[in-house]
């Protein structure tokens, strides 16, 4: 039996306590990540509602200056916001309905483009075969293959039903038509939970705005003394950061959408008032903005242009707008408001994108900036704020 001296016991006890503390922190971190992953729908809905409420708060205060109550001012601000979303959706629906009518032209253009590319590939293969030595080619005694019809003819023949055999009566199996309600339910069942959570956002935003004073008093009542002052500063820092970040992104998206729409009108692309704002706002998506911004104008140009030069001009212009927006305008409109360094932004995008997908990419920077606002105002956590800051 080993007998420890008092000195050895005093050394081993802090080590064991430190190991237990590290183990508990790792377990707590793993439980937090699991909670974030499995509760993502609820948390995304709550965070989105909080950010929207912070954005609409100045409008509520402006309406309250007209001697309206907070409840009515909150209802009016939410109604105006919903009306703006409805008008944008209506304009987008009008453009999309025209796009649906022109889908046959797009399919014909795509088929012609695929046929042209296939013919060029076959021509390159024949040229390579002529350059290769004879010993690498097929023997000359082999029968020459029959000339192949064009790709469009082969595709049409493949879609045609086989010819009926003489003397054999064709038997047609009865195939019942699918019920439209069943199809609608099957297509929406996968998104039912997301749609259900999304339907709560307007009500959450309204109650957060109308009950803002009550929630603020209840939240600050949980703290006393110096902690109450820290909580108050953190509250105002998070609110200011959320409003500044969303306002900066909105202004940047509007600038890119305006110049994109003007350019698409000049090059006579169809549906410029749809693809212009879509390309402009997709361009500000972190890391995936450029390919996502290129997709709408390239698809819209298919029934208009057939030469490669036009697509290069469109791609280079959209890329130029993206680079100017992200390198010159973004630091002034957005970066100066959140004060996050590029490494922290990249790690945050990776982490929240892995946990929450596309919603995580959108909310990653506001969440990280909000954490930095808390770290900067809590004593003992300033080092983490400096680690995230610029």
The closest alpha carbon to 43, from 200, 242, 189, belongs to 200
Rounded to the nearest 10°, the torsion over CA 374, 378, 382, 385 is: 0
CA–CA distance, 338 with 369 (Å, rounded to integer): 6
Confidence tier at 140 by pLDDT (50, 70, 90): very low
Count CB-CB contacts under 10 A for residue 152.
14
143 DSSP assignment? P
Residue-wise pLDDT tens digits, 245-302: 777 888 888 888 899 999 988 988 888 888 888 888 888 876 777 888 888 888 888 7
pTM over 0.75: no
Residue-wise pLDDT tens digits, 213-254: 888 888 888 888 778 888 888 888 887 777 777 778 888 888
Residue-wise pLDDT tens digits, 319-331: 898 888 877 777 7
CA–CA distance, 125 with 145 (Å, rounded to integer): 15
pLDDT average, residue stretch 117-125: 74
**Beta-carbon-side half-sphere exposure of residue 378 (alpha carbons within 13 Å):** 16
Letter string b/e over residues 96-114, b meaning 16 or more CB atoms within 10 A of that residue's CB: eeebeeeeeeeeebeeeee
Write down the domain spans for the chain.
Answer: 56-114+201-210
For residue 180, what pLDDT is reported?
54
Looking at per-residue pLDDT, the higher value among 370 and 187 belongs to 370
Residue-wise pLDDT tens digits, 193-220: 777 888 888 899 899 888 888 888 888 8
Query: Could you tell me how many residues make up the chain?
Result: 390
pLDDT average, residue stretch 102-114: 66
* Phi/psi of residue 161, nearest 5 degrees: -70, 155
Percent of the chain with pLDDT over 70: 72
Tell me the CA distances in angstroms from 317 to 17, 213, 297, 309, one per residue in order: 61, 48, 11, 12
pLDDT average, residue stretch 122-143: 63
Contacts of 91 (CB under 8 A, 6+ apart): 273, 274
């Amino acid at each position: 039996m080993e007998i420890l001296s008092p000195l050895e016991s005093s050394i081993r006890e802090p080590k064991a306590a430190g190991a237990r503390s590290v183990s508990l922190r790792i377990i707590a971190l793993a439980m937090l990540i699991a909670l974030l992953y499995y509760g993502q729908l609820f948390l995304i809905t709550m965070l989105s509602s909080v950010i929207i409420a912070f954005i609409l708060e100045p409008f509520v205060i402006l309406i309250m200056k007209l001697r309206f109550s907070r409840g009515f001012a909150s209802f009016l601000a939410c109604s105006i916001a919903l009306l703006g979303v409805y008008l944008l959706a209506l304009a987008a629906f009008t453009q999309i309905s025209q796009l649906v009518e022109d889908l046959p032209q797009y399919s014909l253009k795509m088929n012609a483009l695929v046929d042209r590319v296939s013919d060029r590939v076959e021509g390159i293969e024949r040229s390579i075969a002529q350059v290769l030595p004879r010993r690498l080619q097929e023997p000359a005694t082999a029968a020459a293959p029959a000339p192949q019809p064009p790709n469009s003819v082969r595709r049409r023949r493949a879609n045609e039903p086989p010819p009926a055999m003489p003397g054999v009566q064709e038997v047609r199996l009865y195939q019942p038509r699918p019920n439209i309600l069943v199809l609608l339910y099957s297509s929406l069942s996968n998104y039912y939970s997301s749609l259900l959570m999304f339907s709560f956002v307007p009500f959450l935003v309204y109650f957060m705005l109308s009950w803002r004073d009550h929630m603020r008093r209840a939240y600050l009542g949980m703290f006393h003394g110096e902690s109450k002052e820290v909580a108050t500063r953190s509250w105002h820092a998070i609110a200011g950061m959320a409003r500044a970040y969303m306002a900066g992104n909105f202004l940047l998206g509007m600038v890119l959408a305006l110049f994109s729409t003007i350019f698409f009108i000049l090059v006579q692309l169809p549906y410029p008032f749809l693809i212009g704002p879509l390309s402009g706002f997709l361009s500000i998506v972190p890391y995936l903005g450029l390919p996502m911004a290129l997709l709408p104008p390239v698809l819209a140009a298919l029934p208009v242009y057939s030469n490669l030069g036009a697509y290069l001009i469109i791609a280079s212009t959209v890329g130029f707008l993206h680079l100017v927006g992200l390198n010159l305008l973004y630091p002034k409109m957005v970066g100066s408001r959140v004060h996050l360094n590029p490494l922290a932004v990249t790690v945050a995008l990776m982490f929240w994108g892995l946990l929450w997908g596309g919603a995580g990419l959108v909310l990653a920077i506001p969440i990280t900036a909000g954490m930095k606002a808390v770290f900067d105002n809590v004593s003992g956590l300033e080092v983490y704020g400096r680690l995230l800051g610029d």
